[in-house]
Amino acid sequence: MVQKRIRDYNIIPGRMRTGKWNKITDVPGVLVGHSTIKNETNHTGVTVILPGPDNGFINKYTAASYVHNGFGKSCGLVQIEELGTLETPIALTNTLNVGLVWDALAGYVIRQSQAEGVEPMSLNPIVGECNDSQINQIQNRAVKEQHVMEAIAGAEEDFAEGDVGAGAGTICYGLKGGIGSASRVIELDGKEYTIGVLVQSNFGATADFVLNGMAAGEQILKLKKDKEGMASAECDKGSIMTILATDLPVSHRQLKRIIRRTAVGIARTGAYTGHGSGEVMIGFTTANRIPPSSQGKLITQTMIHEDLINRAFQAAAEASHEAILNSMVCAQTTTGLKGQVYYSLAEFLPELTIL
């Protein structure tokens, strides 16, 4: 099924050129897979971002993380902050499933490494989360190892968005949230590079929502009376996980500066980063890989000059903005555990004065 994304409604966030898919997978080697659980009590799942086709534990990625607001339960950020490397796939899920998904990722990388003759004695799986308890019976901890493996096995370039995987039970601005993605292409020194973003959106108060520069949230609340059982969000809480991938040769420090600019994209949708919302950014580059051992030799890396970094800043801001809107417009209307209805943004677009 071909999904309609925000550009299909003639809403174009930003002005930079996109990649082929306009997704994080425009960065060569990056794949994304989902496993979605939907039944009477559970609307949840797991989304896995594979940074490349080989074993990242053996040949690590330069990486960075940034916690804009720390109301969250992510795993692995301390070591990324200290060492500036990523050595496993990145998984997103719900709040109470972080430990189970961590365990599944650890098992996957251990088996992968042992098959290549390497015995991991220390491992740093990366797991992010959003709380989907309004739609999902979160205490069931429905995501199991089999679902993580299913997401990995099904990872692809042209992946689904909306209420799939880790986005199955999330809410954004009181509407249905989910997984969304976008990319931007920049040119430096005659060569093209890609910055791609994937979000798990679960934040924002309805009244604050901004679309195409207009106060769309206020219009949506006025239309609420005509939508049976429609829910809304009175305050900004719930979290957003933002994953940024690039093939741009940057240092750990530069990458951290770039991922911080995804907060600009979040703000463009109207959020102010509320107390109860966890804004966590994780980024990696497929350039500047770190070998398993120096073998007594110095490691040489390439990095862009700081004078050129503004282009990456703009790309990160635009891609995160569009990824959030894609997560909302691709999601389907869903009923919560108490009967409240979280409508898709797509259902309101024909009625909004935003153009």
> What pLDDT score does 144 carry?
98
The answer to whether the CB of 198 falls within 8 A of the CB of 24 is yes
Cβ neighbour number for residue 214 with a 10 Å cutoff: 14
Whether the model pTM is above 0.85:
yes
Give the tokens for residue 303: 């990095």
Question: Are 224 and 347 spatial neighbours (Cβ–Cβ below 8 Å)?
Answer: no
191 burial via Cβ count (<10 Å: 0-12, 13-18, 19+): exposed
Is pLDDT above 70 for 161?
yes
> So what's the pLDDT on residue 235?
81
**What proportion of the chain, given as a percentage, has pLDDT over 90?**
86
Q: Whole-angstrom Cα distance, residue 108 to residue 9?
A: 40
Nearest alpha-carbon partner for 180 in 23, 52, 46, 36: 23
Mean pLDDT of 258-278: 94
| Rounded CA separation 353/355 (Å) | 6
CA dist 344 to 14, 151, 224, 305, Å?
Answer: 23, 24, 13, 42
Comparing 98-107, 260-269, 293-302, the range with the smallest average pLDDT is 293-302
pLDDT, tens digit (0-9, with 9 covering 90-100), for 276-331: 888 999 999 999 999 877 777 888 889 999 999 999 999 999 999 999 999 999 99
